[in-house]
Structure 1
Amino acid sequence: MLMPVYYFVIGAFKSRMDIIKHPFSIDLELITTKNFPYAFKHLNYLNAMKNTTIITGFSLLIVVISASLAGYAIARINRKIFQLYYGALVAMMVIPFIGCVIPLTVMSVHLHLYNHLIGCIFIQATWNLPFAIFLFVGFMKTIPKELEEAAYLDGCSTFQVYQKVFLPMLKPVTATCCIRTGVMVWNDYLVSSALLSSNQTPTLMVGVQQFFGSRATEFGYAFASIIFSSLPMVILFLLMQKNFIKGLAAGAVKA
């Protein structure tokens, strides 16, 4: 598991020939940092970072709000239509995304969303929504019904119960959802490469791909660009790891 990480981290500080000759070792005398400024410049890092952050941020916002509301309705409101909807969502989780790329691309062209960040945001959000709802439903089923009943006795409406009883308790599963969805969207290459053809709207993963050519691969530059691309998600996980583990465990109890 750690070997690929070790390989690209040490490779980022080596020349192309040194990587080919000594892939798993590093000579301290041959360490170089020239890969990083080159990768930063040719990756167009700031622009790619901005686009990736916009797509990830808005996708997360849509997913978390929609999943928490849908999760509450499915877990707590006893209506058959919600259970049928939940079954359809769970079934969607087994559909391979690559089979939907062409239809989604055609749809985005007809809706004039092709080569626009908003089209990428909607597709990323809707595709990550089923698993997020699955997590929220499982977590909300673990919350005692007595709390909900007490709120109703105090005169709260259904939405007020959601707002005042459930929302304050959703921190662990929200952290889990944010990390899982954020990593999926941040590291996505397929959707971005299919829907964003302009050089003005690249994402980080699309930018990394430029260092992998059909005739030659600039390994050092590629590894440096991977480090640049990975750092934000690593920092996010370190900040939220306790809630991530707690939410993942709780969400799996009754899902």
Structure 2
Amino acid sequence: MVGARYREPMWWSRRRKERELADAREEALRWYERLGGQIMNLPPGEEAATKQALVDAGERYNAAGGQLDRATTVKQYELARETSLEGLAYVRAARVAMGLDPGPELPPLAGQRQAGAVRQPRSVEVQGQEYRASPRPASDTPYYYPGGMVSGRPVPSGWYSEPWWKTALVAGAWGVGGALVFDALFSPGWGGGWGGGGFESGYDSGYDQGFDAGYDQGQDQAQDQDQGQDQDQGADYTDASYDTGGYDDSGGYDGGYDGGFDGGGFDGGDFGGGDF
């Protein structure tokens, strides 16, 4: 009886892990097979953007196949599933470039929401070379990226003139050239991205408005309470009017500080909505 009581939980645990592994494998295979079918059935097209998107989709298909062959854990099957979803995102981009219906929405990729999307065309020059980003495919922006975190930096989904992020994807770290292009396209110092009305303006206006509103409210409450104390008890400097009204509980400096960061700064601004 004692032995049976200890063997049963181990048996159930082993069966549960086997089911989880089988489910993860089937989920990865489902997206992998869907990717292969769409690549085979979609004509290559004539536009450079279409051809490049299908090349990238084919690379993800081959990579996902290799991951599936080597996978022995749930996590490894999840990585293969993610690679297949990336390939399907490139297929959707190819369909958009061909003027076709992109099809149903896909599950979001890791880091995709955080990275946002390019919402307006932009062009910058870095070390004598021009780089472009656009929300739409064109002859001068044939390289699509579905969006995500690349070596710690959010690269928005969109169409680009050069695949400047690929080195960081392969090497796991940004080279000097890729980092400069990223900063030029999306950093505040170059007049775009987070600084062009997103992070900085959200932080500044939210902080100022929240601080002023909270400070004024706290001062008003402090004055009202001081007047009440003067009428009822006389102006006693040690009573609750000083602490409660202006600077602590009722919203003076505390209210301004919280209102600035939460009402319109880091939280309310949300890096300008995640889009560029």
TM-score, L = length of structure 1: 0.29
| Greater RCO, 1 or 2 (C-alpha within 8 Å, sep 6+) | 1
Considering fraction of residues, name the structure with more helix.
1
TM-score, scaled relative to structure 2:
0.27
Q: Higher Cα Rg: structure 1 or 2?
A: 2
